[in-house]
């Protein structure tokens, strides 16, 4: 290969049948003097799990939609189990509202045009069902699976009930479970599970569901919670993939119905908890309850309003744009 470049980028290479052999060849030949980046869609993630192993030849990074800190160009130095530094700017509130409206995927966010966003959203969903999924999986009832996909935006930011979806679709529990798992593999949605510990009586089986493209959600409260969930998931994936930390994202819910939206743990020890509110109201009592039970060092109540940053007891009430600007 005649080139003065010090990096080789292979995009969508998984469409080539023997792509792993090709990547191995590039790695073995150029590993000493060039960096190699392999990028692709969700199918690349699925294909890399099977067949010949590339173990020892690569590090796996998960790409996310744009987040507030990324758009601002922030390179925050985040040290797990320590306090996070938050600073807002004049642009942060406007950027947050654009993220809420257009989502974080590059095409609609950069265009910032409603027609472009609608067309991109429709094309993404159609391509996922008609091309991506069909290329790797045989689905006997693709129509019902598409209906399932259309139902999920209404379920976003809430507990996922397979039984409820099964009744709506009039199909088996197994079919819905398989479809949910498949849609998750293709990055349509992700799930967060409840944190379980000796000091709380948690519900272990129920998960909450969120969309990668949160702009599909119509309800503002659910949309805002989903956006925060996506920002926190990106933080978790970054600190795991790039820095090697044993870090997880959970929500808190016990058998008495007390709930807190998010908990970040390091080595299964709480780092910080987040409760999301569209308006500044009363302090979330459940934050205080779980903080006492689990010894959570940092507590945040994140508000979809401007110019809020104050402490009430151990809880920091903070505007969403300022909070999210401190992440990745």
Give dist(CA 250, CA 233) in Å, integer: 10
Tokens of 246: 């044993």
Last residue of a domain, one of 36, 60, 84: 60
Same domain flag for 48 and 72: no
Same domain flag for 219 and 123: yes
pLDDT at 53: 63
Give dist(CA 128, CA 99) in Å, integer: 22
Give dist(CA 214, CA 169) in Å, integer: 23
Per residue in 182-200, is it b (16+ CB within 10 Å) or e — as a string?
A: bbebbbbbbebbbbebeeb
pLDDT tens for each residue of 283-299: 999 999 999 999 999 99
pLDDT at 42: 63
Same domain flag for 230 and 128: yes
Last residue of a domain, one of 60, 78, 94: 60
Same domain flag for 20 and 145: no
Same domain flag for 154 and 174: yes
Nearest C-alpha neighbor of 253 from the set 148, 159, 132: 159
pLDDT at 272: 99
pLDDT at 1: 55
Same domain flag for 184 and 39: no
pLDDT at 13: 78
pLDDT at 51: 56
Low-confidence spans in the chain with pLDDT less than 70: 1-3, 42-53, 203-204
Same domain flag for 206 and 162: yes
- Collect all residues with Cβ–Cβ distance below 8 Å to 61 and sequence separation of at least 6: 241, 242
Domains contained in the chain, number: 2
Last residue of a domain, one of 9, 35, 60: 60
Local structure of 252: helix, strand or coil: strand
Same domain flag for 51 and 72: no
pLDDT at 132: 86
Give dist(CA 127, CA 113) in Å, integer: 21
Same domain flag for 24 and 136: no
Question: Do β-strands 315-319 and 309-312 pair in parallel, antiparallel, or remain unpaired?
Answer: antiparallel
Task: Give the residue numbers spanning the domain of 317.
Answer: 68-325
Same domain flag for 196 and 320: yes
């Amino acid at each position: 290969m005649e080139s003065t470049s010090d990096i080789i980028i292979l995009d969508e290479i998984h469409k080539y049948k023997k792509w792993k052999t090709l990547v191995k060849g590039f790695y073995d030949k150029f590993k000493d003097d060039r960096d190699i980046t392999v990028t692709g869609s969700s199918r690349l993630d699925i294909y890399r799990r099977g067949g010949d192993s590339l173990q020892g030849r690569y590090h796996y990074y998960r790409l996310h939609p744009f987040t507030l800190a990324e758009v601002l160009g922030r390179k925050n130095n985040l040290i797990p189990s320590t306090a996070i530094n938050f600073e807002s700017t004049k642009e942060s509130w406007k950027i947050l509202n654009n993220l809420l409206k257009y989502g974080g995927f590059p095409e609609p966010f950069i265009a910032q045009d409603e027609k472009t966003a609608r067309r991109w959203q429709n094309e993404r969903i159609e391509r996922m069902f008609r091309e991506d999924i069909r290329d790797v999986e045989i689905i006997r009832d693709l129509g019902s699976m598409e209906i399932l996909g259309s139902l999920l935006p209404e379920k976003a930011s809430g507990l996922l009930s397979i039984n409820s979806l099964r009744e709506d679709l009039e199909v088996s529990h197994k079919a819905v479970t398989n479809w949910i798992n498949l849609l998750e593999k293709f990055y349509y949605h992700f799930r967060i599970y409840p944190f379980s510990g000796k000091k709380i009586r948690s519900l272990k089986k129920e998960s909450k569901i969120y969309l990668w493209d949160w702009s599909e959600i119509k309800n503002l409260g659910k949309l805002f919670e989903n956006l925060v969930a996506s920002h926190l998931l990106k933080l978790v994936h970054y600190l795991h993939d790039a820095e090697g930390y044993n870090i997880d994202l959970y929500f808190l819910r016990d058998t008495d119905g007390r709930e807190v939206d998010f908990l970040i743990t390091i080595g299964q020890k709480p780092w910080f908890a987040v409760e999301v509110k569209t308006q500044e109201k009363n302090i979330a009592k459940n934050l205080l309850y779980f903080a006492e039970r689990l010894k959570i060092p940092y507590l945040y109540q994140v508000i979809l309003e401007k110019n809020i940053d104050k402490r009430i007891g151990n809880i920091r009430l903070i505007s969403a744009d300022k909070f999210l600007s401190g992440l990745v």
